[in-house]
Amino acid sequence: MSSFLFSPGLILIFGAALVPVLPLVLRRAYLLLLPVICFWYILGLNPGDVQTFEFMGYQLEPLRVDKLALVWGYVFSLAAFLGVLFAIHQDDRVQDVSALVYAGSGISAVFAGDLISLFVFWELTAISSVFLIWASRTEASYRAGVRYLIIQIGSGVILLAGILFWFADTGSLAFGDIGIETLAGKLIFIAFGIKCAFPLLHNWLQDSYPQATPTGTVILSAFTTKLAVYALARGYAGTEVLIYIGATMTAFPIFFAVIENNLRKVLAYSLNNQLGFMVVGIGIGTPLALDGTAAHAFCHILYKALLFMSMGAVLHRTGTTKASELGGLYKSMPFTATFCTIGAMSISAFPLFSGFVSKSMILTAAAGDGYWGVWAVLVFASAGVMEHSGIKIPYFAFFAHDSGKRPKEAPFNMLLAMGITAFLCIAIGVYPAPLYAILPYPVDFVPYTTAHVITQLQLLMFSVLAFIVLIKTGLYPEEKPSTNLDFDWLYRRLLPKFLRGSGQKIAVADQHIRSQLLLIVSRVMQTSERWSGFNGTLARSSTVGSMASYAVGLLAVFLVLYFIA
């Protein structure tokens, strides 16, 4: 390629600079246009395209195009467009700029060919995205945003440390296979793991995403965690420990999703669970598994955005996403209810919906490599997805007991964004060939076999049957307004309590030491006052005569001593 090439995310990042000065109508058109230009530009890129330059003696590569990066490039720019369209009714320049810079840095990060470029855009995703949380402009969102920022920036700092060690070890800054054998590899692995919401590092996700604006969460759900999945696929494909980390991620958030009342938080747990499938694929590391991860990331970004959009629309219209306050909304929001159900069927992997054609690749790869325990966990988790995302989300928001709420249907732009996304979810499910064509490795995978379709339908329909039985027998737990403790309890409750407790102890000790010191100082002052103060022995004013008599006395003592000696 001889033409001038640059990192495609820069279109959104630099494009955002104009947003604050444009009047509303122009701004709306402009916001929609930028992701389209970005998408079109990425379509024109070919594997092998690079842009490199030297910076302070280091070879940087802000653009490195290959098939893995392209999958993410396509879906990220698509998600940016859908996210912007979903939010276009509002007039909030902060969110507009934040969303563009965030999406742009996500896109640039996946095209980064060296670790320094990766680090720069990695941190930029953190800084730009926090404004989508703060834009809710509540005390709770402010605090959640600060926690989010600390953890995200922390991931960047660990990444930077890892990069420095890596450069010292290898002399290279290229972002390729890293592996967890070295210290540098471990540090970078942890940095990626934080952003990917590994178990025990996961809680920033469920803490912050539900606090963002109705439109902000849609944007947030697409980029950060999938960027981490991409980075793991690039640096740690075939790292076996990822299989077990991923399997854990698919399983444990399910239980939290079951008991959570805030439906956007349920979706955040569900997001975590979906990431687990992708991480397992990376751990297996075979071409089929990595293709499965890429395909699943692609499908997941769309159906997860669709689900967050539907809950965003509900929040926009009713002011809440608490299951205990919702129900029966299908009566006045039938389109939103339909789109939500399509998202729910996609994530649950019903045949003819997008999740089916991508998740089955990962499951087949796990089974094919003989990981039967992992496979059993993944099937277990699939039934769990059906519970919290397939049934719980649409059921408690739009059906269940009638809350009496009759909100207006979502604004037209929201419906349009949901409609396009829902169409894509079904189109990919019905005709997966174009998706398979863009995957990193040649695909020889047939999703629609009789066995696949029947067994998957059995799993899902018997889950529905189980749900009906549990509801009818009254065993299904009632939705209650509540907070459920998760790992964030450690740093939101235990740690502050401990610090406050030890703070008090320090204060007491400090006070004790200070009072002792003060006592000593005052004693010293008293003593010096007695000796040197007004009328003090050493401060008495003496006449010349008395001075002479002192001198004579001293001489007399000297003489006596002299003679004795």
Q: Residue 400: what residue type?
A: A
CA distance 388 to 355: 15
State in angstroms the smallest separation of the CB of 480 from another protein: 7
CB of 367 to another protein, least distance (A): 4
CA dist 452 and 454 (Å) reads: 6
How crowded is residue 324: how many other Cβ atoms within 10 Å of its Cβ? 15
Closer residue to another protein in complex, CB, 114/479:
479
Comparing CA positions, the residue from 309, 468, 176 lying closest to residue 185 is 176
Instruction: Kindly list the residues in this chain that would bind another protein in the complex (CB under 8 A).
Output: 139-140, 143-144, 254-255, 258-259, 330-331, 367-368, 372, 375, 379-380, 383-384, 386-387, 399, 402, 404-406, 450-451, 454-470, 475-477, 480-486, 492-493
261 within 8 A of 323, measured Cβ to Cβ: yes
Closest CB to another protein among 37 and 464?
A: 464
State how far the Cα of 42 lies from the Cα of 109, in Å rounded to an integer.
14
By beta-carbon proximity to another protein, the closer residue of 458 and 549 is 458
Instruction: Closer to another protein by CB, 143 or 186: give it.
Output: 143
CB of residue 203 vs another protein: minimum separation in angstroms? 12
Shortest distance, position 482 Cβ to another protein, whole Å = 5
Q: Which is nearer to another protein, 124 or 266 (CB)?
A: 266
Token pair of 173 as six digits: 């800054």
Query: Shortest gap between Cβ of 408 and another protein (angstroms)?
Result: 11
* DSSP one-letter string for 163-203: HHHHHHHHS--B-S---SSSHHHHHHHHHHHHHTT-TTS-H
Report helix angle 93-110 to 115-134, nearest 10.
Answer: 160
Residue closer to another protein (CB basis): 291 or 486:
486
At position 405, the amino acid (one-letter code) is: K
- 82 or 391: whose CB is closer to another protein? 391
CB of 332 to another protein, least distance (A): 8
CB atoms inside a 10 Å sphere around CB 127: 16
Nearest distance from residue 134's CB to another protein, in Å? 14
Structure tokens at 271: 């997001």
Nearer to another protein, 123 or 486 (CB): 486
Considering only CA atoms, which of 102, 106, 93 is closest in space to residue 7? 106
Choice between 89 and 143, CB closer to another protein: 143
557 Rama sector, left if φ>0, alpha if ψ -120 to 50, beta otherwise = alpha
Give whole-number Cα distances, 238 to 71, 186, 198, 299, 303, in Å. 19, 15, 17, 22, 27
Residue closer to another protein, measured from CB, 176 or 496: 496
DSSP 29-79: HHHHHHHHHHHHHHHT--TT-EEEEEETTEEEEEEE--HHHHHHHHHHHHH
Taken in order 310, 313, 315, 319, the sign of the CA dihedral is negative
Beta bridge partners of 322: 262
Q: Which is nearer to another protein, 125 or 206 (CB)?
A: 206
CB of 244 to another protein, least distance (A): 18
Are the beta carbons of 90 and 24 closer than 8 angstroms?
Answer: no
The distance of closest approach from Cβ of residue 336 to another protein in the complex, given in angstroms and rounded to an integer, is: 16
**Of the two residues 132 and 381, which places its CB atom closer to another protein in the complex?**
381
Q: How far is CA 263 from the centre of its chain?
A: 18
What value, to the nearest 5°, has the Cα angle with vertex 222 and ends 277 and 214? 125
Shortest separation between residue 259's beta carbon and another protein, angstroms? 5
Residue type, 16: A
CB of 456 to another protein, least distance (A): 7
Residue 152 CB, nearest distance to another protein (Å)?
A: 19
**For residues 485 and 548, which CB has a smaller minimum distance to another protein in the complex?**
485
CB of 366 to another protein, least distance (A): 9
Using alpha carbons, list the distances in angstroms from residue 25 to 36, 84, 91, 411, 551.
Answer: 18, 14, 10, 17, 101
